[in-house]
Amino acid sequence: MFEANDPNSIQLTADGQLRHFLTTEGLPRELLIEILDTADSFVDMGEQQVKKVPLLRGKTVANLFFENSTRTLSTFELAAKRLSADVLNLNINTSSTKKGETLKDTLMTLQAMHSDMFVVRHADSGAAHFIAQHVTPNVAVINAGDGRHAHPTQAMLDMLTIRRHKGEFAPLKVAIVGDILHSRVARSQIHALRTLGVHEIRVIAPKTLLPRHIEALGVKVYTEMASGLRDVDVIMMLRLQKERMQSALLPSEAEFYKLYGLNRDKLAYAKPDAVVMHPGPINRGVEIESEVADGPRSLILDQVTNGIAVRMAVMSKAMSGQLSQRAATDNASREA
């Protein structure tokens, strides 16, 4: 486990620009809105004949995935290529870390190859912060998910999806349902939703899948679906994180689906125009029934499309912040 305290001391430049993107926690609302606005301009790029802009031309992005995730890796790779960057995907299963090399040694090797950005996914909480603390000043670090801690780009693509379908955040009631205890997505969503001014955030889960003192994050806690989903505008389902469960926290998947799986009957508790989201991959018949996942109120495929745009926005803003900081450092050195 890595330390991940005071992230904004390293993820923002002196003038408030994005230097690294490690967590949504503590970031100013203005910066989150800037990311969403920038992403909005990229959403329709996939439908254009030429799907590239030169914002990262000449830059090298290294995807360091110490934990498997086909969807996140592929969208980051596509986002980097659409920004015209060169992309290096590190195969962790055959990398030197499997042969005993330390994470810090691996980073130094990659930096010697003159990489400009690391996109990091790791099973240990705080890993992205550790890397950001040890990279050279000219490397930006993007957190693609670390342990149970944070998944900030997932949260931001969810925010973009909500904004594009619901408009203003302020009037909304949002319910996050499922395995809150093990979910880095839920934590990042809650921080982003609070910062963007959502009227009410609810979490719905069995008591065994709720973190202690979750109310301190500014959410309302429900342990059954009928009251938790009543009159909500957005339902954000979560995947059961079975790989992170260290004990039997549920009687069975069938029992979980019976009580907390989203089907047509439970969806009826929400507002008639409520939308349904899921970060994927979906466990059909465990968290959600196919009729709802594939139905007209589902935004799951929209989330995938918006994920590319958000990751393009984050990468371009982080690189811009790095260049700004480097220029300020060079000016200070000349004046000295």
Which pLDDT tens digit goes with each residue over 142-167? 999 998 899 999 999 999 999 999 99
Query: Which pTM does this prediction carry?
Result: 0.91
Rounded to the nearest integer, the mean pLDDT of the chain is 89
Tell whether residue 99 is among the known ligand binding residues: yes
The predicted-structure confidence for 76-122, as pLDDT tens digits, reads as follows: 999 999 999 999 998 665 554 555 567 777 788 888 888 999 999 99
Residue 331 clears pLDDT 70, i.e. is over it: no
Catalogue all structural domains in the chain, each as residue range(s) with its CATH number: 8-150+304-324 (3.40.50.1370), 152-297 (3.40.50.1370)
Q: Residue 3 pLDDT > 90, yes or no?
A: no
Q: Is 57 a known ligand-binding residue?
A: no
Residue % of the chain over a pLDDT of 90: 67
The span from the CA of 163 to the CA of 168, in Å, is 6
Predicted pLDDT of residue 2: 45
pLDDT tens digits, one per residue of 9-31? 789 998 899 999 999 999 999 99
- At residue 292, the 3 state secondary structure works out as helix
CA gap 236, 105 in Å, rounded: 39
Structure tokens at 73: 């890796």
154 is in an annotated binding site: yes
**281 carries a ligand binding annotation:** yes
Is 212 marked within a binding site?
A: no
pLDDT in the model for residue 110: 81
Look at residue 254 in the predicted model and tell me its pLDDT: 85
Q: Is 176 within 8 Å of 228 (Cβ atoms)? A: no
104 is in an annotated binding site: no
SS3 145: strand
CA atoms of 158 and 278, how far apart (whole Å): 9
Of 239, 244, 294, the C-alpha closest to 261 is 239
121 is in an annotated binding site: yes
